[in-house]
Structure 1
Amino acid sequence: MSAVSFQSVSKTYRTPKGDFQALKQVSLDIEEGEFFGLLGPNGAGKTTLISILAGLSQASGGRVLVQGSDVQANFAEARRKLGIVPQELVFDPFFSVREALRFQSGYFGVRHNDAWIDELLDSLGLADKANANMRQLSGGMKRRVLVAQALVHKPPIIVLDEPTAGVDVELRQTLWHFIAKLNKQGHTVLLTTHYLEEAEALCSRVAMLKQGRIVKLSPMSELLKSASSNVLQFKTDSALPAGVAQRARVTGRIVQVPAADAADVEKLLAALREGGVTPEDVEIRRADLEDVFIHIMNEAAVKQGGAA
């Protein structure tokens, strides 16, 4: 039995401009103990899928099972098995951190939970904030409390929806160390993130969504293996020759160009020389998840555009 099973899930919203289909027949099984990544650009349908999983939104078609429990027909049972960290910073301003965690335990019928609460506070760097009012915390500290609230009832399945968006490096490292430990202990983790280096480091399998459809579902190792090309990376302030520019990804002064082999690298460097461009800090690296992601999204855009 899968930890989470999305079965032909569709979601249509009614808008003044007409119906908008956010999800289109999404089918996906996440196995017990997996660290699974759900990736896609803004508007791809990731948060809609998470909202349906959490029971906050109802699918227009299909169904979702959590360890065999239907999220609509058996909501309470399914919800007890989930620990969900939302994107938004939602908190009760009237309670201290420890009180908030005790109340959250109570929502799931968990009593005498102080030992686990203490472990959460310590593991997430909140021990010295245990008695602070939630209003006194920084955004990063509030994010840590959200993670602790999601885990306070020891759910077998942890859902992280952009958990490190806008937070500092220390929190990211603390969070991933703790979540990776829980995953090794058998917890299933579902992660959505725009930080692709996090997904590459943590996830054993990923699904990529675009415009409400799954366009790629693959083990991480196979996904990276399929990216046989290298990437020529350098810095420049000069305008790129047209032949290089149409292949390049430019971020400020940093230019990244896919290169099939050593001969291709030499052709690119020759084109730069002929164009009067002197590259700085030149390096050749293996393609990473970000390179693969951009390639797959571009391919999907062409196919979906043709289908339209």
Structure 2
Amino acid sequence: MTTTSHAPVVQLSNVSKKYDDYLAVDDVSFTVRSGTVLALLGTNGAGKTTTIDIATGMMHPTAGSVRLFGEDPHTDRAQVADRIGIMLQDAGFFDGLTVGETIDAWRRFTPRARHRDEAVEMVSLHRQLGTTVGRLSGGERRRLDLALALLGTPDLLFLDEPTTGLDPAARHQTWELLSAMVDDGLTVVLTTHYMEEAERLADEIAIIDNGRIVRLGPLADFTTGCSTRIDLSLRCADDAQRLALAAGSNATVDGGRISLTTADPQPALLDLLRWAQSAGLEFESIRVGASTLEQSFLDTITEVAR
């Protein structure tokens, strides 16, 4: 992650998209500056992908304006196409082509295209160069998606759920690759369900719900505060429910796991430990830490729903 702040590369101003009586995107505005990363977060169906489609120029908004490098990506496509890379959720490959043949085909119509060997090396697909796309795993296909999005050495990269299906090692390698490129000046707009991914890469966070941006600001605004998260685990779900009732309404239960946030963690934890001891219960695990982006996201969505 970088804290560099330069000229705006992406500008969405009061953008809306309406389908008949359904408003998929509702008055969305945000700016992404050069060499920074904006993570667009939201639940399924919140409007993330539609917003990305509009921002890339693949879809025309019903209202509002979009500018990439000062140009309209829909009407002035030729002015911006060579400077952007796009990684969608499904690129629609030809399963009969090998990885190498797929990259070679894309290189023919990609200006400033990287060499094929560089493209596969970036995403660790050199061993799959002769493998047909139809035989790739889901994670390997996502890595090929990323290689093609980066093929033209873009100045601006749009990533829609880039690490879905990747194993933890491949996910961390992807984060390291993207972080290095951002440090070199790449600008990124990212959608993801992995909060750790957003925390690792993003400078700015935008939370979208029902098509509207409900919270927007620097990452630090979402992760810095006085609240502390306590996570407890018990073997029995019924015991977890009993303990949650003792903890009060701030606690949430998922099976045998209990989570709560508090501004005063020490007395809260001591109360839980005393109650558990008196009830003859043993915790399988206890974790105490600063409030995370995930918790901040859940709190925001819950507050909006009220």
Same fold (TM over 0.5): yes
Corresponding letter in the other structure for 2:259 = Q
Distance apart, 1:68 and its partner CA: 0.9
Matches within 5 A, 1:180-219: 180-219=179-218
| Rounded Cα–Cα distance in structure 2 between residues aligned with 1:275 and 1:57 | 59
Matches within 5 A, 1:150-165: 150-165=149-164
Counterpart residue number, 2:4: none
What is the SS of the residue equivalent to 2:50? helix
Are 1:3 and 2:1 counterparts?
no
Distance apart, 1:267 and its partner CA: 4.1
Deviations 1:99-144 (A, max 9, x none): 222222222344xx4x532112112111122232222222221111
What is the SS of the residue equivalent to 1:247? coil
Are 1:300 and 2:304 counterparts?
yes
Distance apart, 1:64 and its partner CA: 1.1
Query: What is the aligned counterpart of 1:96 among 95, 98, 104?
Result: 98
Counterpart residue number, 2:3: none
For the aligned residues, what is the CA RMSD? 2.0
Between the two proteins, what is the percent identity of the paired residues? 31
Counterpart residue number, 1:85: 87
What is the SS of the residue equivalent to 2:75? coil
Label 1:96 to 1:292 Cα distance change in 2 as closer, same or farther (>3 A): same
Matches within 5 A, 1:167-246: 167-226=166-225, 228-236=226-234, 237=236, 238=239, 239-240=241-242, 241-242=244-245, 244=247, 246=249
Are 1:137 and 2:141 counterparts?
no
Are 1:288 and 2:292 counterparts?
yes
Deviations 1:33-86 (A, max 9, x none): 002211111111110101112222221111211111101220222232221111
Corresponding letter in the other structure for 1:77 = Q
Distance apart, 1:270 and its partner CA: 5.0
Matches within 5 A, 1:53-132: 53-88=55-90, 90-110=92-112, 113=113, 116-132=115-131
| Rounded Cα–Cα distance in structure 2 between residues aligned with 1:287 and 1:41 | 20
Counterpart residue number, 1:253: 256
| Rounded Cα–Cα distance in structure 2 between residues aligned with 1:89 and 1:75 | 19
What is the SS of the residue equivalent to 1:70? coil
Counterpart residue number, 1:305: none
Instruction: Give the TM-score normalised by structure 1.
Output: 0.88
Label 1:104 to 1:163 Cα distance change in 2 as closer, same or farther (>3 A): same
Gaps of 5+ in 1: 303-308
Corresponding letter in the other structure for 2:304 = A
What is the SS of the residue equivalent to 1:91? coil
| Rounded Cα–Cα distance in structure 2 between residues aligned with 1:46 and 1:62 | 17
Distance apart, 1:23 and its partner CA: 0.9
Gaps of 5+ in 2: 1-6
| Rounded Cα–Cα distance in structure 2 between residues aligned with 1:47 and 1:67 | 21
| Rounded Cα–Cα distance in structure 1 between residues aligned with 2:276 and 2:261 | 14
Instruction: Give the TM-score normalised by structure 2.
Output: 0.89
Q: Contact between 2:82 and 2:111, CA under 8 Å: does it hold in 1?
A: no
Label 1:276 to 1:62 Cα distance change in 2 as closer, same or farther (>3 A): farther
Distance apart, 1:151 and its partner CA: 0.8
Query: What is the aligned counterpart of 2:37 among 35, 38, 45?
Result: 35
Corresponding letter in the other structure for 1:210 = D
